[in-house]
Amino acid sequence: MAVTMRDVAEKANVSIKTVSRVVNNQGEISETTRQRVLDAIRQLGYRPNIVARGLASGRTASVALIIPQITDPFFPELVLGVESVAHRQGYSVFLCNTNEDPQQELDYIDILSGKQVDGIILCGSRLDAEQLSAVATRHHVAILTSRRPAHAAVVSIPGRTGLRRMTSHLAELGHRKIGYVGLYWPGDQERLQGYYDGLAAHGIGANDRYVRMLPTITVDLARHMTRDLLHAAPEITAIACYNDLAALGVMQAAASLGRKAPEDLAVVGFDDIPLASLVSPQLTTMHVPKYMLGQMVMDLLLKVIAAKGDYEEHAYVELRMIVRESCGAKNRLPVG
Amino acid sequence: MAVTMRDVAEKANVSIKTVSRVVNNQGEISETTRQRVLDAIRQLGYRPNIVARGLASGRTASVALIIPQITDPFFPELVLGVESVAHRQGYSVFLCNTNEDPQQELDYIDILSGKQVDGIILCGSRLDAEQLSAVATRHHVAILTSRRPAHAAVVSIPGRTGLRRMTSHLAELGHRKIGYVGLYWPGDQERLQGYYDGLAAHGIGANDRYVRMLPTITVDLARHMTRDLLHAAPEITAIACYNDLAALGVMQAAASLGRKAPEDLAVVGFDDIPLASLVSPQLTTMHVPKYMLGQMVMDLLLKVIAAKGDYEEHAYVELRMIVRESCGAKNRLPVG
DNA sequence: TTGTACGCGTTATCAT
DNA sequence: ATGATAACGCGTACAA
């Protein structure tokens, strides 16, 4: 089998405990025995067994990262951010895709707490605030969500502020008939509210006919719904979107109706996924620092772990508007 | 602390072993005691400690998935494929980004074998065939690579065949001056060879001036190099690419030089990443079933684990050409 | 069908 | 500064 501490101890003529001390740099040890142990370790090629350490110490140096879908272009960067700080701190990360299913989410929490992970990160959870709260009391958890679970460590994207700014941008370009293509998600209408805020800030009345809410956001669905929207209300000159994927669908719908963005329809997205700058016209959008977001939640989780679960905080990430082509600002078009 | 088998055993008035038997569905147990134990488990909310089980049994029900970069659009789907079969078989997966650094790769292998993972999946490894071979003898490993490590379980993408077919496609559309934008990767010129194969199959002589090899593939780099290429050899009418990201850069370069794809320059990619059908013109490319690929490597790893490392196989995934817009086939343009 | 006792590799509590 | 020994929670011979 693998070489253990006992083997090292025998080879170095010391006790197991001494080996343990050397491996973990703890306690005072004479330099000579220290070197002797180190030599034995090197010669035998000893590697500590983290599982055994986990059983004895209760710490596994592993965390779980639970996300809805790694194929959603929002998440890869975030995952990378989480992993970077995790790795730097000696943690490994279990990746768990819930497929946007709350039950799978719960299942994963169960399974991984059984594997004694030191902490769990929940991103874009489909659980409601109460469930999240409950999970947070039972486990060491950091959450990325727009909900407001009580007594938890959470970081949020200020979606309401963000969409107010994007909508205002459109209004300031002269648009008055501004539509919205969003996500219908019970218990979270942050971004929709931001859209309304933006309209109100410019004295534009809200019009339900200008709004389409999708059960889930895909480019195809956004395209279909937007075709419908533009048929029902062709007077719309601009559309704000829940995110970039929706914005892409909106632009495709416009193109299919012979309306060119941004001249015939201004479009703004949200998130600034990699695609946003690769499509034509390039998407004006709200940049969400996804990598940093990942770092933030992992940092948060570290605090929760250090405080043995007794840590609360609600942080917000900063947004930055990226004006590209799809909104028409670059051409300063007068809009009727 | 958490509730253990002992607690359950006491509550149910049985021995620990009996509880163990119930939990693992092994051995004959009278239905009455079985129910008694099950009740106790439910009442106490007992969850087996996988770490302890791992120490005792040597199996942790965890595997490591090592990839170069989750932000590379090729990988999210693959990761999902791996996770789907892993999860179905009761395994959790550690995600490890090596940042394309062979040293980090080796480090991760070390760390995770220390965590006693039952197996390791290596994708797009930056290690050479010999190193891979060495890793495979020391650990339970399944590899996705175009290299040919000895005595290992590997699945490959037939890149040479694939690029031959893409290049042939261009030749069959009438192109004779066909360029190639590829990746320079010591020890693997599969796709470049396929490009040459395609030319040869149509009696077209190879011309080094038509080839650009990038040290790493990014859209920006591909754009720059392609501008250079098209300046040096403006007579080129078509370009085959190592992958879709490169193809994107090629199309951008063409556009920036006033050459419209596909009319003024036919372009074909490889991989069929999600972007391929979202950009305009849509990319003609070789579809690589990434989700299935993930399932294949994980299946392979399961075999390796079951065989205790004594398992070799070299599987190939099937490719499918997707003709979209960027190659010009749809318009049947005569090319001079 | 069920139970006893030991081992897995490490940490942690005492001593010395 | 170093060592003996008991946990940690579960699997597994071997018994009964």
- Quick: pLDDT tens for A70-83: 999 999 999 999 99
> CATH class for domain B159-287?
alpha beta
Shortest distance between the Cα of B12 and any Cα of chain A, in A, equals 22
Shortest distance between the Cα of A218 and any Cα of chain B, in A, equals 12
Q: What residue segments make up the domains of chain A, in order of their start?
A: 5-48, 62-157+289-319, 159-287
Angle at B303 between CA B299 and CA B306, to 5 degrees: 135
Question: What distances in angstroms separate CA B49 from CA A114, A170, A282, A322, B178, one per listed residue?
Answer: 5, 55, 51, 48, 60
Could you read off the pLDDT of B198-242 as tens digits, one per residue? 999 999 999 999 999 999 999 999 999 999 999 999 999 999 999
Q: How, if at all, do strands B238-241 and B211-214 pair?
A: unpaired
Average pLDDT in chain A: 94
| Residue B318 dihedral angles phi and psi, to the nearest 5° | -90, 140
pLDDT at A269: 98
Angle between helices A5-12 and A31-44 (to 10 degrees): 120
Distance A30 CA to D3 C1' (A): 15
pLDDT at A1: 57
Closest nucleotide to B23, Cα to C1': D10
For residue A13, name the pLDDT band (cuts at 50, 70, 90).
Answer: confident
**Chain B residues in contact with A279 (beta carbon < 8 A):** 278-280
pLDDT at B3: 86
**Residue A165 is encoded by which pair of tokens?**
């700014």
Closest nucleotide to A116, Cα to C1': D9
pTM for the whole structure: 0.94
Please give the Cα distance from A326 to A287 (Å, whole number): 15
Arch. (CATH architecture) of B62-157+289-319: 3-Layer(aba) Sandwich (3.40)
More confident residue, A56 or B27: A56
pLDDT at A336: 45
* Amino acid at residue number A175: H
Looking from the CA of A36 toward its CB, the CA atoms found within 13 Å total 14
Query: Is CATH 3.90.1170.50 the right assignment for the domain spanning B5-48?
Result: no
Nearest protein residue to nucleotide D9, judged by CA and C1' positions: B52
Of A302, A299, A301, the closest CA to residue A291 belongs to: A299
pLDDT at B14: 86
Across the range B109-132, mean pLDDT stands at 95
Assess whether the region A62-157+289-319 and the region A159-287 belong to the same CATH fold. Answer: yes
Distance A17 CA to C12 C1' (A): 10
For residue B336, name the pLDDT band (cuts at 50, 70, 90).
Answer: very low
Cβ–Cβ of A111/B92 closer than 8 Å?
yes
B104 to chain A: closest CA residue: A87
Ramachandran region of residue B88, left (φ > 0), alpha (ψ -120 to 50) or beta? Answer: alpha
| Residue A328 dihedral angles phi and psi, to the nearest 5° | 85, 0
Across the range B85-102, mean pLDDT stands at 96
Please give the Cα distance from B46 to B69 (Å, whole number): 38
Cβ–Cβ of A61/B113 closer than 8 Å?
no
Residue A240 has pLDDT above 80, yes or no: yes
Please give the Cα distance from B275 to A244 (Å, whole number): 13
Pick out residues 231-270 of chain B having their CB under 7 A from any atom of nucleic acid strand D: none
* Pick among B92, B110, B280 to test the A interface (most A CBs inside 10 A): B92
Of B157, B144, B141, the closest CA to residue B190 belongs to: B157
Residue B334 has pLDDT above 60, yes or no: no
Host H or E run for residue A270: none
Host H or E run for residue A264: none
Residue where the block lists tokens 């290690």: B127
- Is B89 within 7 A of strand D by CB distance? no
Cβ–Cβ of B94/A96 closer than 8 Å?
no
